A and B are shown apart, each in its own frame.
Chain A
């Protein structure tokens, strides 16, 4: 026994919660008196519950599928980022290392074995003072010195009648020898003069040791140069910092 079309329309309206008062009364009557009607109502309720459950399960599956897709996208992005990092980071790292190396290379004072190069970097001719030199020859020597005619100044500066107490003369003479590429002679003059100036921390003493050190550098006497610049570096004075720089270059 099955329900009529009219009864079925009533059941659908009940499921859809769309019964009016008159229809509701009729529905209740059928439900209480008609077993086929009651079964059909129950079956339709089960069908709609099943329908909703299946649709919900399908939608949940669809969301899961989308989330899997998002997972894959995220993983792909991670892999791409990883690959990008693998490609770019070593390049960046290499560039940084290279840049650092270049900076270090240019900033760090390289040990220079060429003592002549160090000499050329630091040597400045000792300035002629306005102080009058004693005697006519002395004045002439200083004129040549100021004019840069060092070879003409040398014989006048080494005259045996020169004032032996004039401590600046050996410095001028040594500078002349250095200018005319006779560093050994400069060393000799300053070493002799320095004997009088041991432990002398006066300006004159500082000039002596400084130019002696430069004379050693020009003559290639590295060990002697190191010793004298070390002594200058250990004493407060006008050449202290420069001596430290020279020592760094030498080492």
Chain B
């Protein structure tokens, strides 16, 4: 956690330069530039955690701005494509949603759905939430999760993950009882 904070503090140091560059080189406004930068930090951190940064030494500021610029292009396209994406979480949702579901009525209930998911995650025990997060969001292998969470074997971790996801699904359905999720 201390390492993460140190990394974020280092990346925070590039904020002004990156935001200024975005303002100069694109037509985005200050708020959008700030948001793009935060998302670029998120992406950089994720890449670093997954060892997906280039092997050769990189100019962090330049690399970070490159992510910012790509995100701006993507967001620009996304805004044209999905004009109803009112919030960031909705935009992320569309990003993660498989293409074959894009035409479904999941979009119609996205706000309620996302709220239900947030509520169900909050209602879960720390251990279950952590294992779900590590597997689905951080995309860790069961071997890694077993090591991180002190499970005896990856099989034990897999069983726990299965049980936790079922619980999550149940809670999400309950939370969305009146939100027509089941109609999807």
Residues of A within 8 A of B (CB): 8-9, 12, 16, 39, 42-57, 59-60, 63-64, 66-67, 70
Which of A42, A50, A52, A56 counts the most chain B CB atoms within 10 A?
A50
- Bound-state CA distance A67–B14 (Å) is 12
Q: Does B157 contact A (CB under 8 A)?
A: no
Query: Which A residues lie within 8 Å of B9 (CB)?
Result: 70
A51-B117 contact in complex given A56-B92, A60-B42, C-beta closer than 8 Å:
yes
How many residue pairs link A and B with beta carbons under 8 A? The number is: 95
Nearest CB of chain B from residue A1's CB, rounded to whole Å: 12
Among A16, A42, A67, contact of B104 (Cβ-Cβ < 8 Å):
A42
Chain B residues, Cβ within 8 Å of A42? 101, 104, 106, 184
Cβ-defined contact, B136 with A56, below 8 A: no
**What is the CA–CA distance of A93 and B137 in the complex, to the nearest angstrom?**
58
What separation, in Å, do the CA atoms of A59 and B133 have in the docked complex? 11
Q: Chain B residues near A8 (CB, 8 Å)? A: 166
Q: Are B38 and A67 in contact (CB under 8 A)?
A: yes
A57 near B89: Cβ-Cβ < 8 Å: yes
When distances are taken between beta carbons in the complex, the residues of chain A under 8 Å from B114 are 50, 53-54
Residue of B nearest to A5 (CB): B166
User: Would you call B96 and A12 a contact (CB within 8 A)?
Assistant: no
Across the interface, which residues of A come within 8 angstroms of B106, CB to CB?
Answer: 42, 46
What are some 27 contacts across the A-B interface (CB < 8 A)? A8-B166, A12-B162, A12-B165, A39-B184, A42-B104, A45-B101, A46-B104, A46-B106, A46-B184, A47-B117, A47-B172, A50-B117, A51-B132, A51-B136, A52-B92, A53-B92, A53-B93, A53-B114, A54-B114, A55-B136, A56-B137, A57-B89, A59-B42, A60-B39, A64-B38, A66-B5, A66-B8
B5 touches A53 (CB 8 A): no
Q: Which residues of B contact A66 (CB under 8 A)?
A: 5, 8, 12
Q: Which of A9, A43, A57 contacts B181 (CB 8 A)?
A: A43
Residues of A within 8 A of B88 (CB): 57, 60
Please tell me if the beta carbons of A55 and B133 are within 8 angstroms of each other in the complex. Answer: yes
Given A57-B88, A70-B12, CB of A45 within 8 Å of CB of B98: yes
Residue B18 CB within 8 A of the other chain? no
Task: Tell me if B53 counts as interface (CB < 8 A to partner A).
Answer: no
Q: Which residue, of A43, A53, A67, has the highest number of chain B Cβ atoms within 10 A?
A: A53
Contact A46 B137 (CB under 8 A): no
Q: Is B21 an interface residue (CB 8 A)?
A: no
What's the Cα separation between A51 and B136 when bound, in Å?
Answer: 8
Known: A49-B98, A52-B136, A53-B96. A67 touches B12 (CB 8 A): yes
CB closest chain-A residue, reference B172: A47
Given contacts A46-B113, A47-B169, contact A60 B132 (CB under 8 A): no
B96's partner among A16, A52, A60, A63 (CB-CB below 8 A) is A52
